Amino acid sequence: MIIMSVDFGLSRTGIAVCDRSEIIASPVTVIPEKDFEKCALRTAEEAKRLKTELIVVGLPRRTDGKEGETEVKAKAFAQRLHELTGTEVVHWDERFTTVSAHHLLDEMNVHGKKRKNTVDALAAVMILEDYMRYRQNTQR
């Protein structure tokens, strides 16, 4: 199944996709858009272009487990994607993926403008890899 993951952000949104075998997750793009609707439309276009069969939207949960403003917006974004694509959308806890992406980029010595554009796509890959592991462990 072709699964697309989305690391929704208020300024940039990272997109990743896996192969049909659900083995490899790859970064696709970062959408640099602050306007909610424009970002949703561009993300929906990517989903259609990639022939996505399932969309996973990361939910940036607060560390105390309570729903914050960003999570509410991510849920609304997920709902809008479903409306625009007709594709099933799954919410996925993405706590610490951006932090983990920053740590990985530190290890790789990636800095500056390139880092800013890479971190969100890398976070989307991490969300997708986590979701694929979940699917592999629960579909036996």
Mean pLDDT by 10 residues, the chain (140 residues): 95 95 94 97 98 95 80 96 97 70 58 67 89 84
Identity (one letter) of the amino acid at 87?
T
Q: Give the per-residue pLDDT at 115.
A: 57
- Paired with 16 in beta bridges are 5, 27
Q: Give the per-residue pLDDT at 72.
A: 93
Q: What angle do CA 99, 105, 110 make, to 5 degrees?
A: 140
Is position 116 within any domain? yes
What range defines the domain where residue 103 resides?
3-68+86-138
The domain that holds 90 is classified in CATH as 3.30.420.140
**Domain count of the fold of the chain:** 1
Is position 106 within any domain? yes
Is position 47 within any domain? yes
- Paired with 55 in beta bridges are 4, 89
Is position 125 within any domain? yes
Is position 76 within any domain? no
Q: Hey, what are 32's tokens? A: 């640099």
Q: Give the per-residue pLDDT at 24.
A: 94
